[in-house]
């Protein structure tokens, strides 16, 4: 069953409001009665006095210069008022009593982490003036039109790290005849803990009426952890620093740019106007409608006002705007959509590949989802400082440069694959996430899991020779299986409330596991039914919100009575953590060849403590079994058999011989592992040994010699294979590989203006040469990192610099993350050093020493903080390291978005300790024996 529920208007579950039962004595009851009578008299007098108070009159607030700001927001939290309202004595300022069919919202509802749902936004008018060059601040006005769904005397919007402009708050009625609008009890204030702007009213807003709330706001235009509205920069070839302003609002950061109802179900339309300095262009979700020169105050230089068309109804986290000096390239898609890529001028030669592939994907998704992209244009922007890979803002996708820019002769095949994957992922979101949104963040997987899987579909169209469907197992499935095998995993769907809860959802479970189960659905439903289910889903819920059950019901409708209850099947995969191992035992007799299958939960450490706060369904699953034998060798359309909870199954293998192997889970479409009886394992091993390559270097060397260094006349997959072969050969000390790599790097050092290293081999060459070299090699690479304007080259050099084998160099590099390396890259440096056997203790010590810096910089991030914690603790495998980690956690209880990662690090350390204790001697003896053969 579902372990979460929504009340009407998106309220929290009943338990959050329901008081506990209490029993009182007779004497206490008499005292309470007299206090109650007294309170009625006091409240009646107060209401009579407050009824004489004049309401605030609405006014239109223009963008102003150098605003007077009340610094109420994130610095102090006023106490809530204690005034009570009794329905029997309330005098309404609207001239009519509150509707009797609804009850007033509790006065102190800002104490809840979710919006009460009494007010639903329908439209925003956002005017924002952004000073990039001079004073580096932004200020503006938000006018939000909202429908009152239940009588309330409180307006709550989300706000974080914003200051409100004194005297700008106003409220007006949009509907209703003779409605008297209540005034404000005091200047609107902010509640920092739940990130609310609180406007307390001296009267009631009436259910069914529409109101417009206006307020001015402002803040500094700074880095802000690359969240909200922030200032970015880049350097030109001449060394000049240029600036821009960009937004990143997911999942709960629109509130850092303007007051808003910052929840995904609160869809609304937006009219956006940006005022900026000349020399810049403004871009937003919709096409630019007009620009005009304006003077804000007499004698001040001119500004430019850019006004955009009204948006479609959309969640606040998909709103986006950028003010920059970029150029753009544009193509018109077959569907007549203007598809553009914006980048800094010196990078414009690198946009053509993504421009063509992105336009083709947009056209294909029109066809695949049977719903045309609903906006007139699709802009993408390559942002120099960007905290994640990319963001799917509706009509204005923003990308880290290395995921959008491809430079022929410089970028590698893996860069090409990344660009295609990320483009397809973000474009799929235009339907799954933007056109159809989820109701609340516990269903985040509905967009992220689907977009991760859809990236395979999109890339398979633009680059059909890359075998992306086959690559999925290596790039996504195995990562999910590894993360989900720990007892510290979580279900795909979990209850979340706070911003930190929401941010911690962005992990391998919501991306890779969710994508893997969607891939499994695709397989057992078939292409026709799968696409029909998506078509029904998009058509049914476009411009609105959905929950996971809605998608399952659409798939069930698509199969049209075939007997597959998709919800029943998929609840076992989404509502409980982990996954099964299928135990296969064969009957080898020629009279009755068959196999039996049963299931149990798979754990990477069977001895681990599996106590958890999450519900489960007995850790049993509905499992689609696809299988084949050596005789059939049917890998295209193998038969399907269901293994259901608590019901082992026996499946006949007609005609199968006792000496032929059986393979279950064909192409790894099922999200589970398989364990066979001993004889079938031996048959599979014999097959593998018959067709293929005594350990590590002895296995790698033939591979390396076969592929060599020559990239000419090689396809995409062959080049990726060559990358792997050279990387492993150099890692395991192959003399020829190391010699070739160091020679290529030395040639580059002799002539820094000419880099002859093949793009696909740069990763291995840079790392090998820096590891085998000293300060000269490292400093040369760092100079190249600082001077190159090619995004992919910067990213590669940044990681390669962590390959050094001298602890003092690695320590110097770590110190640069505090001052000298951009915040978007600092975490990557620490992670890269932690992967180096010479550096992992250095990285852990550095992380501990600079905890406050990393907590402040990344503690609210989606991915960085959790990844940082996992990587700097990944090598822990001793009791002393476990105690040190536990002590560190106890000394730093405020872990932000890293809280779950800390728990997982402890459990992973315990698992590592047990593995070493149980298997170290056995593995050591085996390796020694193999290498002597």
CATH number at residue 630: 2.60.40.1910
What pLDDT, on the 0 to 100 scale, is given for residue 365?
Answer: 97
- Does 194 share its domain with 315? yes
pLDDT at 823 exceeding the cut of 90: no
pLDDT at 108 exceeding the cut of 80: no
Which of the four pLDDT bands, split at 50, 70 and 90, describes residue 606? confident
pLDDT at 669 exceeding the cut of 60: yes
- Does 538 share its domain with 474? yes
**CA 844 to CA 881: how far, in whole Å?**
11
Which of the four pLDDT bands, split at 50, 70 and 90, describes residue 691? low
- Does 562 share its domain with 595? no
Percent of the chain having pLDDT more than 90? 67
Q: What is the dihedral of CA 519, 525, 529, 535, to 10 degrees?
A: -40
Q: 278 is written with which tokens?
A: 């000349």
Q: What is the 3-state secondary structure (H, E, C) of 590-649?
A: CCCCEEEEEEEECCCCCCCCCCCCCCCCCCCCCEEEEEEECCCCCCCCCCEEEEECCECE
The reply to whether 43 falls in a domain is yes
Last residue of a domain, one of 574, 605, 621: 574
Last residue of a domain, one of 302, 325, 348: 325
The stretch 161-167 carries a mean pLDDT of: 95
Its sign, for the CA torsion 460, 462, 465, 468, is negative
pLDDT in tens, 191-229: 999 999 999 999 999 999 999 999 999 999 988 888 999
Last residue of a domain, one of 508, 541, 574: 574
The C-alpha angle 142, 147, 153, rounded to 5 degrees, equals 85
pLDDT in tens, 748-768: 999 999 999 999 999 999 999
Question: Strand, helix or coil at 837?
Answer: coil
Total domains in the fold of the chain: 5
The reply to whether 403 falls in a domain is no
CATH number of the domain to which 449 belongs: 1.10.390.10
What pLDDT, on the 0 to 100 scale, is given for residue 557?
Answer: 93
- Does 763 share its domain with 845? no
The reply to whether 141 falls in a domain is yes
- Does 474 share its domain with 498? yes
Q: Distance of CA 80 to CAs 157, 341, 585, Å?
A: 16, 48, 66
Q: Distance of CA 849 to CAs 19, 407, 513, 818, 852, Å?
A: 45, 39, 34, 12, 8
pLDDT in tens, 341-382: 999 999 999 999 999 999 999 999 999 999 999 999 999 999
pLDDT at 71 exceeding the cut of 70: no
Q: Could you count the other beta carbons within 10 Å of the beta carbon of residue 571?
A: 20
CB 314, CB 285: distance < 8 Å: yes
What pLDDT, on the 0 to 100 scale, is given for residue 697?
Answer: 55
The reply to whether 261 falls in a domain is yes
**What mean pLDDT value characterizes the chain?**
86
Q: Could you count the other beta carbons within 10 Å of the beta carbon of residue 130?
A: 23
In terms of Cβ atoms closer than 10 Å to its own Cβ (0-12, 13-18, 19+), residue 83 is: middle
**CA 928 to CA 327: how far, in whole Å?**
60
Q: Is 429 annotated as a binding residue?
A: yes
Q: Is the peptide bond before 251 cis (omega within 30 degrees of 0)?
A: yes
- Does 466 share its domain with 542? yes
Q: DSSP letters of 462-508? A: H-GGG-HHHHHIIIIIHHHHHHHTSTT---SS----SHHHHHTT-SH
What pLDDT, on the 0 to 100 scale, is given for residue 698?
Answer: 59
Q: Is 692 annotated as a binding residue?
A: no
- Does 321 share its domain with 465? no
CB 566, CB 548: distance < 8 Å: no
In terms of Cβ atoms closer than 10 Å to its own Cβ (0-12, 13-18, 19+), residue 300 is: exposed
pLDDT in tens, 699-752: 677 778 778 888 777 788 888 888 888 998 898 888 999 999 999 999 999 999
Which residues make beta-bridge pairs with 144? 124, 213
**Segment among 375-389, 816-830, 864-878 with least mean pLDDT:** 816-830
The reply to whether 723 falls in a domain is yes
pLDDT at 39 exceeding the cut of 70: no
The reply to whether 380 falls in a domain is no
CATH number of the domain to which 812 belongs: 1.25.50.20
- Does 793 share its domain with 821? no
Q: Distance of CA 219 to CAs 85, 130, 296, 303, 427, Å?
A: 36, 10, 18, 19, 32
**Strands 269-276, 119-131: pairing kind:** parallel
- Does 794 share its domain with 916? no
The reply to whether 833 falls in a domain is yes
Q: Which domain holds residue 658?
A: 580-691
DSSP H helical ranges for 320-382: 352-368
Which of the four pLDDT bands, split at 50, 70 and 90, describes residue 258? very high
The stretch 844-860 carries a mean pLDDT of: 89
Which of the four pLDDT bands, split at 50, 70 and 90, describes residue 93? very low
The reply to whether 484 falls in a domain is yes
Percent of the chain having pLDDT more than 70? 87
pLDDT in tens, 556-578: 999 987 778 999 999 999 999 99
The stretch 234-244 carries a mean pLDDT of: 93
**Segment among 56-60, 400-404, 844-848 with least mean pLDDT:** 56-60
pLDDT in tens, 488-542: 999 999 999 998 899 989 999 999 999 999 999 999 999 999 999 999 999 999 9
Residue 426 appears among annotated catalytic residues: yes
Which of the four pLDDT bands, split at 50, 70 and 90, describes residue 79? very low
What pLDDT, on the 0 to 100 scale, is given for residue 633?
Answer: 86
- Does 115 share its domain with 246? yes
**CA 648 to CA 651: how far, in whole Å?**
10
Write down the catalytic residue from 200, 392, 413, 426: 426
What pLDDT, on the 0 to 100 scale, is given for residue 19?
Answer: 27
What pLDDT, on the 0 to 100 scale, is given for residue 699?
Answer: 64
- Does 862 share its domain with 842? yes
- Does 316 share its domain with 453? no
CATH number of the domain to which 245 belongs: 2.60.40.1730
The stretch 583-601 carries a mean pLDDT of: 92
Q: Is 75 annotated as a binding residue?
A: no
């Amino acid at each position: 069953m579902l372990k979460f529920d929504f009340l009407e208007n998106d309220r929290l579950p009943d338990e959050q409001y329901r008081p506990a039962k209490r029993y009182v004595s007779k004497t206490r009851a008499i005292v309470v009665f007299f206090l109650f009578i007294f309170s009625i008299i006091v409240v009646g007098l107060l209401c009579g006095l407050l009824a004489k108070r004049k309401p605030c009159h609405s006014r239109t607030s223009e963008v102003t210069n150098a605003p007077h700001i009340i610094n109420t927001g994130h610095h102090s939290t006023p106490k809530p008022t204690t005034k009570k309202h009794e329905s029997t004595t309330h005098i309404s300022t609207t001239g009519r009593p509150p509707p009797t069919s609804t009850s007033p919202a509790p006065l102190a509802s800002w104490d809840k982490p979710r919006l009460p749902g009494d007010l639903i936004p329908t439209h925003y008018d956002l005017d924002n003036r952004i000073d990039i060059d001079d004073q580096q601040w932004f200020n503006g006005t938000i006018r939000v039109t909202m429908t009152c769904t239940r009588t309330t005397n409180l307006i709550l919007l989300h706000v974080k790290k914003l200051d409100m402009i004194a005297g700008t708050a106003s409220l007006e009625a949009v509907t209703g005849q003779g409605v008297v609008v209540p005034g404000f009890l005091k200047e609107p204030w902010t509640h920092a803990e739940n990130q609310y702007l609180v406007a307390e009213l001296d009267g009631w807003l009436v259910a069914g009426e529409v109101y417009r709330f206006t307020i001015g706001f402002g803040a500094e235009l700074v880095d802000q952890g690359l969240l909200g509205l922030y200032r970015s920069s880049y350097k030109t070839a001449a060394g000049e620093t240029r600036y821009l302003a960009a937004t990143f609002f997911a999942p709960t950061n629109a509130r850092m740019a303007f007051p808003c109802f910052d929840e995904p179900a609160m869809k609304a339309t937006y009219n956006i106007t940006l005022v900026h300095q000349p020399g810049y262009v403004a871009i937003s979700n919709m096409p630019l409608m007009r620009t005009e020169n304006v003077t804000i105050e007499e004698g001040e230089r001119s500004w430019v006002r850019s006004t955009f068309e009204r948006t479609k109804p959309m969640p606040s986290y998909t709103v986006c705007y950028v003010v920059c000096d970029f150029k753009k390239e544009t193509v018109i898609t077959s569907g007549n959509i203007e598809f553009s890529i914006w980048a800094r001028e010196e990078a414009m030669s690198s946009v053509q590949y993504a421009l063509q592939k992105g336009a083709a994907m947009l056209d294909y998704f029109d066809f695949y989802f049977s719903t045309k992209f609903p906006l007139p244009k699709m802009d993408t922007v390559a942002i120099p400082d960007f905290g994640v890979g990319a963001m799917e803002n509706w009509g204005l996708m923003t990308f880290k440069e290395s995921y959008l820019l491809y430079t022929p002769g410089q970028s590698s095949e893996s860069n090409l694959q990344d660009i295609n994957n990320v483009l397809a992922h973000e474009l799929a979101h235009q339907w799954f996430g933007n056109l159809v949104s989820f109701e609340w963040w516990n269903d985040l997987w509905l967009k992220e899991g689907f977009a991760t899987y859809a990236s395979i579909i999109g890339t398979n169209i633009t680059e059909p020779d890359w075998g992306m469907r086959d690559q999925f197992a290596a790039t996504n499935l195995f990562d999910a299986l590894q993360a989900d095998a720990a007892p510290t995993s979580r279900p795909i769907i979990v209850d979340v409330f706070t911003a930190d809860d929401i941010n911690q959802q962005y992990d391998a479970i919501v991306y890779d596991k969710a994508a893997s189960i969607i891939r499994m659905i695709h397989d057992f439903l078939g292409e026709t039914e799968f696409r029909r289910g998506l078509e029904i889903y998009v058509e049914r819920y476009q411009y609105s919100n959905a929950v996971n059950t809605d998608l399952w019901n659409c798939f069930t409708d698509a199969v049209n009575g075939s007997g597959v209850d998709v919800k029943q099947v998929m609840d076992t995969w989404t509502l409980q953590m982990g996954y099964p191992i299928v135990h296969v035992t064969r009957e080898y007799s020629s009279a009755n060849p068959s196999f039996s299958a049963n299931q149990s939960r798979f754990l990477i450490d069977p001895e681990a403590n599996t106590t958890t706060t999450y519900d489960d369904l007995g850790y049993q699953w509905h499992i689609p079994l696809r299988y084949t034998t050596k005789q059939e060798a049917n890998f295209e359309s193998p038969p399907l058999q269901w293994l259901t909870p608590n019901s082992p199954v026996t499946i006949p293998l007609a005609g199968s011989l006792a000496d032929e192997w059986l393979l279950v889970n064909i192409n790894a479409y099922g999200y589970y592992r398989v364990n066979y009886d001993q004889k079938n394992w031996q048959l599979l091993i014999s097959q593998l040994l018959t067709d293929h390559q005594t350990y590590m270097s002895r296995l790698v060397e033939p591979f390396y010699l076969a592929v060599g260094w020559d990239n000419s006349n090689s396809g995409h997959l062959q080049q990726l294979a060559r990358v792997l072969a050279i990387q492993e050969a150099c890692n395991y000390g192959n003399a020829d590989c190391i010699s070739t790599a160091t020679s290529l790097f030395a040639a580059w050092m002799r002539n820094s203006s000419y880099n002859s290293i093949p793009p696909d081999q740069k990763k291995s060459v840079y790392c090998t040469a820096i590891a085998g070299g000293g300060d000269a090699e490292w400093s040369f690479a760092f100079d190249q990192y600082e001077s190159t304007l090619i995004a992919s080259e910067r990213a590669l050099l940044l990681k390669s610099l962590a390959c050094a084998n001298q602890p003092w160099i690695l320590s110097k590099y770590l110190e640069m993350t505090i001052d000298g390396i951009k915040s978007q890259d600092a975490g990557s440096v620490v992670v890269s050093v932690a992967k180096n056997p010479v550096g992992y203790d250095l990285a852990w010590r550095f992380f501990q020493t600079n905890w406050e810096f990393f907590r402040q910089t990344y503690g609210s991030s989606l991915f960085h903080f959790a990844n940082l914690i996992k990587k700097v603790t990944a090598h822990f495998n001793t009791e002393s390291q476990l105690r040190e980690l536990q002590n560190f956690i106890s000394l730093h209880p405020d872990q932000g978005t890293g809280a779950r990662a800390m728990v997982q690090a402890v459990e992973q350390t315990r698992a590592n300790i047990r593995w070493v204790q149980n298997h170290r001697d056995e593995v050591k003896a085996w390796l020694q024996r193999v290498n002597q053969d």
